[in-house]
């Protein structure tokens, strides 16, 4: 069967070279006679996988000394709870910037555990642009400021790192590893794996050491950053297969030229697709141009009654998972690292032909 171009927002495409290597190693990892799925997480074989994965991630992101890297279960949504439980007390205050669905969910969960202040909310614009930091109502005593650099559903992205006095906490599920990043600007970065890292179910947290050891006494041990760090992310049995695949993705990224090369490719892909949308009266993107995402590109058709036909014909052309999120409708093309330029060009060619026959 010929592989398709998968534009899913997540679980998303994984590089073919990674899938092929995992296939080749599936039943016998490097001559040990077992699959990675069968290896003891405390055995020397899996420990070597885990250690290399962390080393390669540190190399890719140039993570400074003084930061711990955790490989955790539960995806990014579990971190909506883990962040306040680890960084603040129940009477403390934290700032939240709301720019779409995922930052709204982080705020709602934060409110269960502390005094969550909405420093900024772009709801007035329909979450189609990033609010000007000059107008943010931040707190002088905030334990942290949380924001979502890229809103996967709405296709809104920060193209800057906020300057705030509180430790900066970022849900980078959709952008981590898509370009270089100055990790030193952050107190905590977390990301679900199912975009640019690997299979769903794994989350990565990069935590500045001075923020560790503050967890409330009621924090579940599996969500306590300090406890997990001291246990090498293995207080409980970790998601070993997802960790292994993530490690293969890190190796692939290094072999492909690192994050500088990913930035070049991702910028080109985004420019190609936005160019096609902006050059047409048949398609439209709702996001303000300075706030457009490189990773998730929503677009609408001039005649919404054609949505079903567009998706049906796109699928027949080998272009899958283009349906927009149910909360916003329309279309959405997610073009993470594993999506090649050829996939974007195939989509643009299809869009051009669909407009010619239905416009």
Predicted confidence (pLDDT) per residue in 134-155, tens digit: 999 999 999 999 999 999 999 9
Determine the pLDDT at residue 329.
80
Catalytic residue among 102, 241, 243, 252: 102
Catalytic residue among 29, 56, 104, 195: 195
Which conformational region is residue 24 in: left (phi greater than 0), alpha (psi within -120 to 50 degrees), or beta? alpha
Determine the pLDDT at residue 359.
74
Average pLDDT (256-266) is: 98
CA atoms in the 13 A half-sphere facing the CB of 305: 2
Q: Is the distance from CB of 192 to CB of 173 less than 8 angstroms?
A: yes
Active site residue 243: no
Cα(162)–Cα(143) distance, integer angstroms: 16
More confident residue, 57 or 325: 57
Active site residue 195: yes
Q: pLDDT tens digits, residue range 185-238?
A: 999 999 999 999 999 999 999 999 999 999 999 999 999 999 999 999 999 999
Active site residue 102: yes
Q: For residue 245, give every residue at least 6 positions away whose Cβ sits within 8 Å of its Cβ, in sequence order, or none.
A: 14, 18, 22, 198, 199
Q: Where in the chain is the domain with CATH 3.40.640.10?
A: 16-255
Q: Is residue 1 scored above 70 in pLDDT?
A: no
Strand, helix or coil for residue 5 = strand
Q: Is the distance from CB of 210 to CB of 67 less than 8 angstroms?
A: no
Q: pLDDT tens digits, residue range 70-113?
A: 999 988 999 999 999 999 999 999 999 999 999 999 999 999 99
CATH class of 16-255: alpha beta
Catalytic residue among 171, 269, 294, 323: 171
Token digits for 323? Answer: 């349906």
Determine the pLDDT at residue 328.
81
CATH tag, 259-358: 3.90.1150.10
Q: Is residue 305 scored above 70 in pLDDT?
A: yes
Q: Where in the chain is the domain with CATH 3.90.1150.10?
A: 259-358
Q: Is the distance from CB of 353 to CB of 322 less than 8 angstroms?
A: no
């Amino acid at each position: 069967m010929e592989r398709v171009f998968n534009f899913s927002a997540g679980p998303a495409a994984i590089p073919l070279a990674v899938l092929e290597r995992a296939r080749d190693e599936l039943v016998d990892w490097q001559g040990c006679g077992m699959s990675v799925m069968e290896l003891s997480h405390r055995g020397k074989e899996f420990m070597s996988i885990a250690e290399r994965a962390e080393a390669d991630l540190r190399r890719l992101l140039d993570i400074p000394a003084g930061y711990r890297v955790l490989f955790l279960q539960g995806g990014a949504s579990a971190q909506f709870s883990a962040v306040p439980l680890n960084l603040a007390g129940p009477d403390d205050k934290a700032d939240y910037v709301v720019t779409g669905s995922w930052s709204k969910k982080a705020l709602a969960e934060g409110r269960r555990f502390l005094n969550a202040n909405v420093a900024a909310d772009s709801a007035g614009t329909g979450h189609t642009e990033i609010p000007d930091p000059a107008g943010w109502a931040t707190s002088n005593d905030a334990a942290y400021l949380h924001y979502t650099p890229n809103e996967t559903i709405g296709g809104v992205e920060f193209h800057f790192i906020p300057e705030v006095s509180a430790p900066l906490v970022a849900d980078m599920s959709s952008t981590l590893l898509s370009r270089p990043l100055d990790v030193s600007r952050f107190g905590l970065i977390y990301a679900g794996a199912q975009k640019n890292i690997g299979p769903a179910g794994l989350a990565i947290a990069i935590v500045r050491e001075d923020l560790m050891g503050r967890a409330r006494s009621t924090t579940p041990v599996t969500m306590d950053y300090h406890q997990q760090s001291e246990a090498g992310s293995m207080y409980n049995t970790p998601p070993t297969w997802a960790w292994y695949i993530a490690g293969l993705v890190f190796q692939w990224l290094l072999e492909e030229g690192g994050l500088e090369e990913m930035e070049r490719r991702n910028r080109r892909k985004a420019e190609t697709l936005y160019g096609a949308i902006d050059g047409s009266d048949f398609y439209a993107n709702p996001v303000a141009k300075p706030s457009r995402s490189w990773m998730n590109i929503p677009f609408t058709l001039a005649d919404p009654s054609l949505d079903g036909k567009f998706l049906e014909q796109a699928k027949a052309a080998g272009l899958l998972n283009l349906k927009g999120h149910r909360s916003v409708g329309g279309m959405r093309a997610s073009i993470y690292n594993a999506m090649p330029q050829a996939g974007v060009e195939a989509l643009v060619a299809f869009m051009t032909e669909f407009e010619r026959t239905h416009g």
